Amino acid sequence: MNALELDRVSLSRGEKTILSDVTLAVGEGEFVGVLGANGAGKTTLMKAVLGLLPLDKGDIRVFGKPVSRGNAAIGYMPQTRSLPPELRLSGRDFLATAIRGDRWGVPLPGKDDRREIDRCLDAVGAQHLASHSLGDMSGGERQRLMIAQALIGSPRLLLLDEPLISLDPHQQGIVVHLVRDLSRSLGLTVLFSAHELNQLLGAVDRVLYLGHGHAALGKVDEVINPDTLSRLYDAPIEVVRAGGHIFVMSGGQIVERDRHEGHTH
């Protein structure tokens, strides 16, 4: 069974076309990197999979079922950049908010809830962060806890929206390998959006590249090449490989280097 299927999906936000008649399938257990320049629709696609946005046409199915809000099969980590420095919520309380998300404030978890929180902390190697305040943690530590929170309820599909934002290269590598290990050990399907391909090289099974309403899904070499990307962008694209890195170029500029601090897409 496929974990995710898009059948002739068209999706827009306001006047902007995000997807235009896109059909694709992600297999169960795949780790897929979701790429594209700022505004390509990475976040919008994830929200559509979560059932939060209506489609213009077509169908999206998750494990063979139509999308719906609150699907327990999906774990979601939204795009975040920073937390208030005065936030005193502990790591354990942070996870507890996902257990009883329908109630105001931090819930008092029962025995089964505490067991689930411990399972998720163990899964990401974060038991040592359970009693620490989020406001005192490094960016990498907070991202580790946010991934743990996305695991609450044992989802089968993880949607991780730019979890590498604001992390240094070392911490980025730690997060990517953590998610890769979780995908393998728990049999999770992962859609992991990232600002640039090089952060994910060697970890992803396939890449989903979005651009100009179109989408290309395949192995890195099948998608990240001049012919495929030029068709996607309807413009000449050059792919440069240097020093173990891959750069997508248009008009002498790196396409993926359109930093989007302070923006959503």
Count other Cβ atoms within 10 Å, centred on residue 128: 10
pTM of the model: 0.89
Q: Where are the alpha helices (DSSP H) in the chain?
A: 42-49, 91-99, 111-123, 139-150, 169-186, 220-223, 226-233
Q: Please determine, for residue 199, whether its predicted confidence score (pLDDT) is greater than 80.
A: yes
* Structure token pair of residue 9: 């999906």
CATH 3.40.50.300 range(s) for the chain read: 2-73+155-257
Close Cβ partners of 7 (under 8 Å, ≥ 6 residues apart): 23, 58, 59, 60, 61
CATH 3.40.50.300, applies to 2-73+155-257? yes
At 101 the pLDDT is: 55
pLDDT, tens digit, for every residue of 123-174? Answer: 999 999 999 988 888 889 989 999 999 999 999 999 999 999 889 999 999 9
pLDDT, tens digit, for every residue of 65-118? Answer: 999 999 999 999 998 755 655 567 899 988 988 876 544 455 567 889 899 999
* Structure token pair of residue 3: 């974990």
